[in-house]
Chains A and B, each alone.
Chain A
């Protein structure tokens, strides 16, 4: 959605007014929520955990595992997707099964992986990578399978080798769809990493959220929650910047 300047100012004003009103209402003692902290208490809790290192550790763990899982999913998804998509027969046999697997809820595999590799770091990566593999794989397979036959003929006429054909023709043509898959995988991967930490792995920002909640520290819970939101936003913005570069480059070579 495009946001005008006036709307942006209004949205800042809106947030400030809502948070301010909340602070005032609670301070004045009109209502009290024992389990929802005021904005100022959340800020205080945030600077507290930021100062004593309870913030950086979990955030770094989550980011690191997110990146490893995402890279794994991206590479495996693109390679497998190309192998499947470029082979017409293979694609026609696998298509229905892959579409079916797409609708399996990703968190359902958490217990399955836990069963096999226990409550370990490896499980966290396996779960997140497996869940975010599908968007990349399906989009890549679709992208490379719908390549214009004329383009392929042109490649053959130019006596391009298989690798050249792949790099010069197939990849650029499939790139927009692959990027869509990567973008879907990106948000899914972060969500699954944090979900896995909340459900099973006793590390990272997801676990920090759970432990603050079971220690009955609402302000700390909300401080972590805001951090999770910032993390998600930063990751998305970073990818969008990267995407613009890669996509533009892809178009200029094709």
Chain B
């Protein structure tokens, strides 16, 4: 009972500031201290969200964005881990590839949109490659680091029981690198959502990014706020989901749960 009470109190504690913020927002918007063109009331935002939901623009846009972001994310994760496995076979190769990779990584994902539209045209065909290129870095870097940091004793064991190279990667190195890889995978998901939205703002005819720009150009402030809140919620939910998954996988009995400090 006491624990429940403490839990309720903790939740209430967290909600104080958001509640005050919404109240202030309501008062400012209701009194029209700021023009309603810029600041709709909380009720206005809810109404806009309801209308968009009924017209299925909200659902369709969300499906479109999540579709691109998730497929790009999955490709980025697989590709990132595979490339990391290949280059970590040779320490020298990792060092030699670092500077050119760092250069490409320093490019903002949005800057890849113009060349990608030249290559793939507008729409999803352009969006997914840009998402992959934007989201691959956290996976690639963390996986590389994790694979390189496998304990030397494990390598010795693998050699002494004569594991094949493939087997060594699969049953020794990957499990040891798993926490680092999962951290990269989690970061990659939020990057994927962000890049997908930006790509839609510039060169797609669907998705939350496209709807956002459209609503902003038509001065539909209620729709803009509703979409921004939805994006925020998606960002938070995606992070929480992968975090939960991460904990479950890493603490799975049988897998090595070495903790690495590869938080960038």
Contact surface of A with B, Cβ cutoff 8 Å: 1-4, 6-8, 10-11, 14-15, 35-36, 92-94, 96-97, 100-101, 103-112, 114-116, 187, 190-191, 194-195, 198-200, 206, 209-210, 212-213, 216, 218, 221-222, 225, 228-229, 232-233, 236
Contact = CB atoms under 8 A, between A and B. Distances in A.
Contacts of B197: 105, 107-108
B208 to A, nearest CB: 8
A206 B18 CA distance: 35
B244 to A, nearest CB: 15
Contact of A94 (B17, B96, B219): B17
Q: Decide if the interface of chain A is mainly helix, strand, loop or mixed.
A: helix
Interface of B: 13-14, 16-18, 21, 37-38, 92, 94-100, 102-104, 106-115, 117-119, 190, 193-194, 197-198, 201-202, 209, 212-213, 215-216, 219, 221, 224-225, 227-228, 231-232, 235-236, 239
Nearest to B95: A7
6 contacts: A3-B95, A3-B98, A7-B98, A8-B99, A11-B97, A111-B212
Contacts of A233: 102-103, 106
Contact of A228 (B99, B107, B194, B228): B107
A7 B92 contact: yes
A72 B202 CA distance: 27
B141 to A, nearest CB: 9
B110 A6 contact: no
A198 B110 contact: yes
Contact of A36 (B106, B111, B119): B119
A103 B236 contact: yes
A206 B110 contact: yes
Contacts of B239: 103
Contacts of B97: 11, 14
Contacts of B225: 112
Nearest to B232: A104
